Structure 1
Amino acid sequence: MNRKSLVFVITAHQEYICQKESDYLPQNEILFSAISETYLPLLNMFSNLEADGINFKVAMCLTPSLCAQLSDPVIQKQYLEWLDKSIALGEAEVASYKDGDPRKALAKAQLQTNKTNRLNFAETYQQDLLSKFSYYSQKGNIELLATTATNCYLPIFGDLPQAVQAQVEVGLMSHRYYFNSAPEGFWLPYMAYTPGLESIIRSYGYFYSILDSRGLLFADPIPEKGIFAPVRCFNSLVMFAKDGGASSKFDDDYLKLPHKLVYRNQNRDIGYEAETERISNFLNKDNMRIPTGYKYWKLDSDEYYNEKAANEQAKKDAEDFFKEKICKLNAAAGMAEGGNVCSICVFDAQFFGQEWHEGIVWLENVLRLASETEEIDMTQCCELLENKFSFQKVSPFFSSSSDSGYAEDMIDHTNDWMISYVRKAAERMIDLTNRFPSDSGLKERSLNLAAKEVLLAQSGDWAEMVRKQLFKDYAAECFKENVAAFSTVYDSLGSNSISTEWLTTMERKHSIFPWINYRVFSEKH
């Protein structure tokens, strides 16, 4: 009997917004909201499934920048302070409404959620969320994929193999640092593939990666089973394809599910609507408006949110999705003439909770439904590698998960200026490793910082934030700071002088990759 498998891959990433000021900045709210609305609810949901004896299986990629922030004691302290402000705001909100006002009940519910989040973060998880994700990985419930050092669009550096190798190598080192495990799968940021990447990825011991569906549908030769079965490159790196066009109804629903009118409006928050005086104690000293978490309305409506009705709809949507996946896999199995088939569903972690408030409820119901059926198998990519040398050999096509599939929509007049700077910095970093192959002491510290700053500048997050107008000035300044810090080291090595005070300040400010070795940018033989 042919095997029909469903795989969920959840990618968890946060921009490296690491403000160490005692009074955190509005930009920190991006991470704090993600912890409250996505990461804590995910862990709580996993705990519920575990308590009910459900052997759930998903795959996750927790990027190095997210891991660095979640494990940073300063950020952990800032998050608790942010929660305390949220709780104080909630208590004021509850007191401001009369009995019988629907907003009072909604404020109470959010207040209780914030209190529960504080209890879970501080006591249940001891401020260490990564250890809990690692726990479920060791149990086999979560397969952890590794990725690059920063959220880098690798094809931009396709002609600079040392720069790509540095990203892959530091990403692997980071995974081992935080999870103490050897990953089998490699997550390509933006699912961005260009020919030649498979050689670098495989050289670091990975067995598979995941492409956008177009990467296989236009491969040479075209895979016999389309996107419903893994293939292998000519160096035997296995490639899975994201299930996109294979299920057009779900493709539409993926975008439409959070927008069903019964669901909570995630964009309408008292942080944007209330008088400044009412929320002044929550806002930063510059009074920049940011979300508070207190959201009272249904989507596209002035009607107040009904949590019970929304959760019932999420459960129904989970049932509909699961039925459709069974039908699709049965149809694919019929076309495969007896071979195994799989459907790889890829989600941003923020989709569950942050973008779609009821998404966690939906996900939990899908995982419960999967445990109740034998018709399809909900599994992980690492369990689908049996007989991998029998997989069809193909040459994947250039592709990415951007809207068009080929990344031209990721760069426009607002951010195209960044490319020349970061490419020049990468070229110069490669040159530095050739000029200073075995230095130590202060010079080695300087080179390590230079390597770190290049990796940070290579992140696509800065360009994406500028293009999307999300703290665009801040993102542009972060990018400029990374490039300027690298240039400072580059120039100082030429003059053989560097400020120890400046170096120490930058090491403390950008504490990610404390173990980095600048030689990752050297040519590999």
Structure 2
Amino acid sequence: MKVKGYWALVLHGHLPYVRHPELPEYLEERWFFEALTECYLPFTDTWLRLRAEGLSYRLTFSVSPPLAAMLTDALLQDRYLRYLDKMILLGKEEEQRTEGDDDFAPLAKMYREKLERFRQLYQDWGCQITEAWRSLAQSGHLDLWTSSATHAFLPYASEASWRPQIRTAVEQHKKIFGIAPHGIWLPECAYQPGIERLLSQEGLKCFVVDHGAFQRAYPEEANLYEPLHLGGGVSAFARDPETSRQVWDKNSGYPGDYDYREFYRDIGYDLPYDYVAPFLAGPDRADTGFKYYRITGSGDHKEPYKPDWATSKINSHSDNFRFNREVQIEFLQEQQNKPPLVLSPYDAELFGHWWYEGPEFLEALLRRFADGQSSVSLTTPRRYIEEHGQGPEGRLHFSTWGEEGFGKVWVNPTNDWIYRHLHQAEKEMVALAEAYPQAQGDVKRALNQAARELMLAQSSDWAFIMYTGTTVDYATVRTKEHLELFWKITRSIREGSINVIELSKAEWKHPIFPDLDYRYYNRTYKENISSHSDKPRQVALTLI
């Protein structure tokens, strides 16, 4: 069938860096384990299977550096296997408990079998699913993007932090995946004018913004269905609002269908505490992933989950999605000279975690758009630029994909206190990087660890959590911990009294980015500097 336009799926995989070697088990590490089980392993299983079937599909997958770091961390890999073993044991216990129950026994078996299948897949790739994604990128099925190093909200960081955040991310991506990223997912889709110059310097050619950014573009409103070239070979792509509503809207979106699985009913809360306690990560009740009910309706009454009913809805919803894209493209292609591109960016964890059937829905979409029977073809931003150019010239204002299209989520009375501390630390990091342009030995180690602590404190996740009111204590503790370590280390540098034991402890606890280079904070840094010195230059340091 003749292709009239394109649909581009862009998934953003991200979690905050959560790693606690100081304890054998830590509740927040389960965020990572659950995301692997519910999202990233199901995605990987699907993508590998479709490739084996010879299906010509393609999509963009942004892997944030914290997620990539955790996926390749030996401690977390070992802990994840232990977590899977514990959940598989729970599955066996559940099969015994529900034996003879026509509604719940098949579900217990389904969960146990999925866990065993994903454990096998994980081990088949040597616990390195990043290697599977690398393979899929090499075969042309995935375009892999990065994000900023610790998912910092860049518009609220000083420009001195932009290069360290972005260059560190690019270098880590090349090390893990063997290829340079073509694009970047700006955290929270937050764009600040001028950042495109740095993206260009780092070889990043495209990113995504909310559709409101294109509506406020200048000198005139930009077309949502083609890229906008900002200069330097960097193009922005706009999120399509229609496909966002179909998946995200809590009232009319597909995930709210009454036949899909209910997220908020879990045996971790429904069954006696003594029964579920051995399978929890702490003293408090929590989700286990064993959920036996469907959404049913808007009230509290819930009926047992029926997987075959959900499968039927997946098929009808994926048919509806493809039909809507064909109608949309049919209309759009009459309005513009180039084939229209409908771009749908989503947080990856929507599919599988919040929407249990999400990975199957995405598989159904990939099959439907790659079967050659649609007037809409799959593409990626990179491929669209290669085939149809970078788009017309234009400029954008500050924007995010958060509430109302701006930054209220990340600076408001619940979290605004963090920024004066972050900005002060940024100034000190720049001052030290310029005072020690070529540090060696323990001074270099200390400067690199100070940079790690600053970056980890800058994670947009902490401000987001404070705003949403979920695990506020944890986000607050993490922010303060990284800032306190930063100042402890930088003071020791200034005073010439580095405590190697304390420094080693910080490196052990927060080892993200082992190749991080503190010199990226030096505004005059040149990679060919050859002088070596642990003595500071005469550069003013920030005193507090």
TM-score, structure 2 length as denominator?
0.92
Partner Cα distance (1:288, 1:419) in 2:
32
Q: What is the CA distance between 1:21 and its match in structure 2?
A: 4.0
Q: Judging changes above 3 Å, is the alpha-carbon distance between structure 1 residues 381 and 43 closer, same or farther for their aligned structure 2 residues?
A: same
Q: What is the CA distance between 1:35 and its match in structure 2?
A: 0.5
Q: Judging changes above 3 Å, is the alpha-carbon distance between structure 1 residues 154 and 381 closer, same or farther for their aligned structure 2 residues?
A: same
Partner Cα distance (1:223, 1:2) in 2:
27
| Identity of matched residues, % | 27
Larger CA deviation: 462-471 vs 501-510: 462-471
Pairing 1:186-197 to 2, within 5 Å after superposition = 186-197=184-195
**Residue of structure 2 equivalent to 1:166:** 164
**Residue of structure 2 equivalent to 1:239:** 236
Q: What is the CA distance between 1:183 and its match in structure 2?
A: 1.8
Q: What is the CA distance between 1:239 and its match in structure 2?
A: 1.4
**Residue of structure 2 equivalent to 1:334:** 334
Aligned counterpart for 1:256 among listed residues 250, 253, 256: 253
Q: Judging changes above 3 Å, is the alpha-carbon distance between structure 1 residues 112 and 255 closer, same or farther for their aligned structure 2 residues?
A: same
Pairing 1:7-26 to 2, within 5 Å after superposition = 7-21=8-22, 23-26=24-27
Structure 2: state its 5+ residue gaps.
Answer: 526-544
Partner Cα distance (2:178, 2:51) in 1:
23
**Residue of structure 2 equivalent to 1:364:** 363
Pairing 1:99-110 to 2, within 5 Å after superposition = 99-110=100-111
Please give the root-mean-square deviation of Cα atoms over the aligned residues, in Å: 1.9
Structure 1: state its 5+ residue gaps.
Answer: none
**Residue of structure 2 equivalent to 1:82:** 83
Partner Cα distance (1:504, 1:480) in 2:
19
Partner Cα distance (1:260, 1:427) in 2:
50
SS at match of 1:343: strand
The one-letter amino acid of 1:220's match is Y
Pairing 1:5-404 to 2, within 5 Å after superposition = 5-21=6-22, 23-122=24-123, 124-157=124-157, 160-223=158-221, 226-244=223-241, 252=249, 256-284=253-281, 286-299=282-295, 300=297, 301-336=301-336, 338-372=337-371, 373-386=373-386, 391-404=391-404
Pairing 1:469-480 to 2, within 5 Å after superposition = 469-480=469-480
Q: Is the 8 A contact 1:20 1:75 kept in 2?
A: no
Summarize deviations over 1:362-394 as a string: whole Å, max 9, x none: 101110011122511101111111377673110
Partner Cα distance (1:254, 1:382) in 2:
33
The one-letter amino acid of 2:288's match is T
The one-letter amino acid of 1:488's match is K
Partner Cα distance (1:438, 1:410) in 2:
35
Q: Is the 8 A contact 2:13 2:62 kept in 1?
A: yes
Q: Which runs of 4+ in 1 moved over 6 A?
A: 387-390
Partner Cα distance (2:163, 2:24) in 1:
37
Q: Judging changes above 3 Å, is the alpha-carbon distance between structure 1 residues 189 and 147 closer, same or farther for their aligned structure 2 residues?
A: same
Partner Cα distance (1:377, 1:254) in 2:
29
Q: Is the 8 A contact 1:315 1:365 kept in 2?
A: yes
Summarize deviations over 1:171-194 as a string: whole Å, max 9, x none: 111111111112221221111011
Partner Cα distance (2:15, 2:403) in 1:
20
Larger CA deviation: 16-25 vs 400-409: 16-25
SS at match of 1:409: coil
Partner Cα distance (2:291, 2:151) in 1:
31
The one-letter amino acid of 1:203's match is Q
Q: Judging changes above 3 Å, is the alpha-carbon distance between structure 1 residues 442 and 153 closer, same or farther for their aligned structure 2 residues?
A: same
The one-letter amino acid of 1:294's match is F
Q: Is the 8 A contact 2:333 2:339 kept in 1?
A: yes
**Residue of structure 2 equivalent to 1:482:** 482
**Residue of structure 1 equivalent to 2:538:** none
Q: Is the 8 A contact 2:151 2:187 kept in 1?
A: yes
Larger CA deviation: 476-485 vs 99-108: 99-108
The one-letter amino acid of 1:30's match is W
Partner Cα distance (1:470, 1:452) in 2:
25
Summarize deviations over 1:47-72 as a string: whole Å, max 9, x none: 22122210110000111100111111
Q: Judging changes above 3 Å, is the alpha-carbon distance between structure 1 residues 418 and 145 closer, same or farther for their aligned structure 2 residues?
A: same
SS at match of 1:39: helix
Q: Judging changes above 3 Å, is the alpha-carbon distance between structure 1 residues 22 and 294 closer, same or farther for their aligned structure 2 residues?
A: same
Q: Is the 8 A contact 2:7 2:378 kept in 1?
A: yes
Larger CA deviation: 82-91 vs 385-394: 385-394
The one-letter amino acid of 1:127's match is C
Partner Cα distance (1:161, 1:113) in 2:
46
Q: What is the CA distance between 1:470 and its match in structure 2?
A: 2.9
Q: What is the CA distance between 1:135 and its match in structure 2?
A: 0.4
Partner Cα distance (1:70, 1:198) in 2:
29
Partner Cα distance (2:288, 2:212) in 1:
39
Q: Judging changes above 3 Å, is the alpha-carbon distance between structure 1 residues 362 and 248 closer, same or farther for their aligned structure 2 residues?
A: closer
Q: Judging changes above 3 Å, is the alpha-carbon distance between structure 1 residues 342 and 140 closer, same or farther for their aligned structure 2 residues?
A: same
Partner Cα distance (1:390, 1:507) in 2:
42
Larger CA deviation: 440-449 vs 50-59: 50-59
Q: Is the 8 A contact 2:59 2:143 kept in 1?
A: yes
SS at match of 1:233: strand
Partner Cα distance (1:440, 1:254) in 2:
58
The one-letter amino acid of 1:292's match is T
Pairing 1:426-445 to 2, within 5 Å after superposition = 426-445=426-445
**Residue of structure 1 equivalent to 2:523:** 523
The one-letter amino acid of 1:486's match is F
**1:491 correspondence with 2:491:** yes
Q: Judging changes above 3 Å, is the alpha-carbon distance between structure 1 residues 411 and 247 closer, same or farther for their aligned structure 2 residues?
A: closer
Summarize deviations over 1:60-88 as a string: whole Å, max 9, x none: 01111001111111101111111111112
Q: Is the 8 A contact 2:188 2:402 kept in 1?
A: yes
Q: What is the CA distance between 1:2 and its match in structure 2?
A: 7.8
Aligned pairs, number: 519
Q: Is the 8 A contact 1:202 1:235 kept in 2?
A: yes
Partner Cα distance (2:480, 2:89) in 1:
37
Q: Is the 8 A contact 1:223 1:392 kept in 2?
A: no
Pairing 1:444-455 to 2, within 5 Å after superposition = 444-455=444-455
SS at match of 2:394: coil
